[in-house]
A and B are shown apart, each in its own frame.
Chain A
């Protein structure tokens, strides 16, 4: 609780230090808390279940919190063609030259396996993403770009199934839902390492 002294300009620090020591001694003797800065404040409102569920949409890697519903390749193909293909391409390879849009390669969703150890890596859902749950999470929060958050849970499962099938990660017949999605093993799931920096340069 004395950390605030560190936030004062240097010229005030000694005074704060002194004041803190005095207060700590007083506090120790009388059992009262240091004057001025309590550790608990009365403002703010307890967040209700409703407050939380209205915003808590994140899906962790283990799939906890995935919603009810399901979807498969065929349904996903329809969603993809009407809602995604304009930017990501009917072949899922990304559309180049769209105004105010990342480059086509950034919009590519499939391909690129075996290219990561090269100076021209192709980084896609297929070649790079470690978790299938991230696909559901990201599409639900941010896609389609012009109308984020507009897909139903069924549509999100379905379009995820479509992308993962086209990426040759799952079979066309697989139905995605809260149980099956977290079980998918992504090709690059072991492709990540912790940050080793600072590097020792030769």
Chain B
């Protein structure tokens, strides 16, 4: 979804408002800096953690904004945190009692990463620039909904399976949990991720370019198990999946996928899936574009043909402007990678050693290798991959780099176990045609470039200028 700059400014203001919980005396960065002293309680930490050291990250980058910081003394705790008084010396008084949090912990009041919601409030982006490892905290997992987040009482929710089956069935959440389950760590990515970046660099941060991808451990029941309960009639070729949200979101899934690795999941990172991820249950189709993993799943109808729903015709089809024809049922998310540190809007404090790090993933299986270039793509060297390298899962890569203080462009290029390598913008445009407006360039997995200026500032740049 393309956005106008005025929208963006409003959205920035709104995002800040929201991030700060609506209370908002704000002061300039300089004022905030002048207020920094160890004696103030409840202030936002400006200690030398990596995110503050390299500037532009944390809350400020998450809301796409520089120049203001929350007034430290008056700030409420960031979302997901509880504000406590900070003692002068934590060794000289007893800390909080266990259980004071009601039995469910919260993050530190000094941590403020949040999802960034786009101006249209149809998607929110994970703060990849400050992530570690490969798991996205559930509360930071990207979101995309078409009709808001429904509140569903699991006691009343049922999943109905019918159509070309021998025995139509319905299952409650409790029923579902009785089946043998599996847990898998998979990435999920929106088909539109980086789509608006195809023709030029538009977004300032990696959160806003690549933040529509996340990784969780998902637990649920193989859909094949459920379809074994209902049986399949001859001719069964597609399954229509439908959600219980206001969009009654609907997509057709080929039966082969349903009988291979498709899951109906109810847990994410060890607890119930979050409402925004489809509570109480969602479909999960590993390696495929996120929108087809229908959330708030209420119905699966086995059929002999696809339904051609609005979400697989009007939306989520890939117009090839070269020919005027559109690709339909473009499910797979292909190999992709991005450097998350250093990345857009950060500032390196000076020449010297840096560990470049980032994420790579492929819907077709495991990442085989990631190469990094620090000279605009002239030379490429292998990055180290953090093990275990799992199929259809994000893989963390690292690359040691000594920056000599001169301008540099850094890039990463992923290759998966099928031998497929990430293309360039130019190659994608040659293949599918240019796209300025009107739709998103879905399945845009081109090599991302970050330019580091002499002063250490990092910017999103595009190879085509």
Contacts and interface: CB of A to CB of B under 8 A. Distances in A.
Contact of B3 (A55, A103, A149, A191): A103
A88 interface: no
Nearest to A198: B420
A116 B318 CA distance: 11
Interface residues of B, number: 79
Given A41-B229, A47-B169, A56 B327 contact: no
Contact of A142 (B169, B248, B424): B248
Given A39-B228, A41-B178, A119 B434 contact: yes
B303 to A, nearest CB: 7
Given A123-B319, A193-B328, A197-B330, A51 B2 contact: no
B147 A142 contact: yes
A22 B147 CA distance: 51
A138 B308 CA distance: 11
Given A44-B170, A142-B146, A197 B334 contact: yes
A127 B461 CA distance: 34
B314 A201 contact: no
B175 A43 contact: yes
B201 interface: no
Interface in B104-132: 120-122
B334 A58 contact: no
A95 to B, nearest CB: 13
A77 interface: no
Interface in B3-35: 3-4, 7
Interface in A13-36: none
Contact of B313 (A40, A117, A131, A149): A131
Interface centre among A37, A117, A125, by most B CB within 10 Å?
Answer: A117
Given A141-B248, A201-B427, A120 B325 contact: no
Nearest to B168: A47
A43 B178 contact: yes
Contact of B431 (A122, A129, A201): A201
A120 B438 CA distance: 6
B321 A121 contact: yes
A116 B46 CA distance: 51
Contacts of B322: 117
Interface string A39-76: 11101111100011001111111000000000000000
Contacts of B314: 123, 125, 128-129, 134, 138
B84 interface: no
Contacts of A192: 313, 317, 325-328
A89 interface: no
B423 interface: yes
B307 A102 contact: no
Contact of B439 (A40, A41, A121, A194): A121
A137 interface: yes
Contacts of B180: 4, 37
B452 interface: no
Nearest to A98: B120
Task: Tell me the interface secondary structure of chain B in the complex.
Answer: loop
B313 to A, nearest CB: 6
Contacts of B317: 192
Nearest to A54: B160
Contacts of A57: 248
A106 B1 contact: yes
B332 A197 contact: yes
Interface string B248-259: 101000000000
A117 B247 contact: no
A56 B438 contact: no
B301 A58 contact: yes
B204 interface: no
B158 A51 contact: yes
Interface residues of A, number: 61
Contacts of A199: 423, 431
A118 B321 contact: yes
Contacts of B305: 60-61
B120 A100 contact: yes
Nearest to A116: B324
Contacts of B433: 117, 119
Contacts of A103: 1-4, 7, 120
Contacts of A37: 180
Contacts of A197: 327, 330, 332, 334, 443
Contacts of A123: 314, 319, 438-439
Interface in B289-326: 298-299, 301, 303, 305, 307-310, 313-314, 317-326
Interface string B170-189: 11000100111011100000
Nearest to A112: B438
Nearest to A121: B438
B324 A7 contact: no
B438 A61 contact: no
Contacts of A201: 423-424, 427, 430-431
A39 B122 CA distance: 41
B246 interface: yes
Nearest to B303: A60
A138 B315 CA distance: 12
11 contacts: A47-B160, A56-B301, A58-B309, A61-B308, A120-B436, A121-B319, A129-B313, A142-B248, A193-B320, A198-B418, A201-B430
Given A7-B182, A51-B160, 6 more contacts: A46-B170, A47-B160, A58-B250, A102-B122, A116-B321, A117-B322
Q: Which 8 A-B pairs have the closest CB atoms?
A: A117-B324, A47-B168, A141-B248, A138-B310, A116-B324, A121-B438, A201-B427, A7-B182
